[in-house]
Structure 1
Amino acid sequence: MIRVLLCCGGGFSSSYVAERMKKEIVEKHLDQELYMEFSPFSIAYERLEDFDIIVCCPHLNMYVKQFIKEYDVKIPIYVLPPRMYGNMEIDEIYQDVQDLLVIYEDTHMNPVHFPGEDHVLKIKRHKAYKHVCRTS
């Protein structure tokens, strides 16, 4: 099971989104594969050991970079592209999370991102990387 911590600045928008995602996880029968909780980003460090990946709202991009410099983070942190955060389709998030875990395992890059997507606020896709950026 992949355990995802969804973070935003104060936890307000992510709490709503996480609750909606939890319902979708159950509806799509992913509850044996995916677990999601929300948290304000300010307390994410206290919760690192309980999760496999931290997924952050786009507006946290600058704070994520500071966080990584300040703490010894041993799990991937991913900043969602703005359009993906707006849609928050669980199938698309789940696909990206699976792929990002593989990238992180290979590179230990943090924040973890897909090739060519190192500037998150410039990303225009609203679907999973694999579904939009197919490579041969």
Structure 2
Amino acid sequence: MVRILLVCAAGMSTSLLVQRMQKAAAARNLDVKIEAHAAPEFDSCYREFDVILVGPQLRFRKADWAPLAAEAGIPLDVINPVDYGMVNGEKVLDTALKLAATKE
């Protein structure tokens, strides 16, 4: 199972994206766990995931969070703003899976 964390400003703006990613994963018979959490929750939950994707509105936090994620061996990147804006679950899922593959 690949555990994917999406981090956004309030933890709610990515809920539709999570749903679309889950639908895409189900169509591919992939075993994934996808959750969205608000930025203030990052420190308390990031270690529970295999991949971290940060919402474009929080790209400035990558500099703070990337070292923590790297120390834990968890790949972290910012979601492509176009994919985020279009709520493209397929492409964001692909991004997460590619990052997960770098962990192995």
TM-score by length of 2: 0.78
Q: Give the 3 Å change call, closer, same or farther, for CA 94–21 of structure 1 in structure 2.
A: closer
Q: Is the 8 A contact 1:7 1:39 kept in 2?
A: yes
Structure 1: runs of 5+ lacking an equivalent: 107-136
**Where does residue 46 of structure 1 map in the other structure?**
44
- Which structure exhibits the higher relative contact order, with contacts defined as CA atoms closer than 8 Å and separated by 6 or more residues? 2
Give the letter for the 1:46 counterpart: S
Structure 1 residues 36-77: Cα deviation after superposition (integer angstroms, max 9, x where no partner): 1110021122112321011111111111212335x4642111
Structure of higher CA gyration radius:
1
Q: d(CA) in 2 for partners of 1:92 and 1:5?
A: 15
- Kindly indicate which of the two structures has a greater share of residues assigned to strand: 2
**Where does residue 17 of structure 1 map in the other structure?**
17
Give the letter for the 2:37 counterpart: S
Q: Give the 3 Å change call, closer, same or farther, for CA 25–94 of structure 1 in structure 2.
A: same
Report the secondary structure of 1:12's partner residue. coil
- Kindly indicate which of the two structures has a greater share of residues assigned to helix: 2
Structure 2: runs of 5+ lacking an equivalent: none
Q: Percent identity?
A: 24
Moved over 6 A (4+): none
Aligned residues: 102
TM-score by length of 1: 0.62
**Where does residue 66 of structure 1 map in the other structure?**
64
1:21 Cα deviation from its structure 2 partner: 3.2
Give the letter for the 2:65 counterpart: F
1:29 Cα deviation from its structure 2 partner: 4.5
Report the secondary structure of 2:14's partner residue. helix
**Pairwise mapping of residues 1-136 of structure 1 onto structure 2 (< 5 A)?**
1-26=1-26, 28-30=27-29, 32-69=30-67, 71=68, 73-74=71-72, 75-103=74-102, 105=103
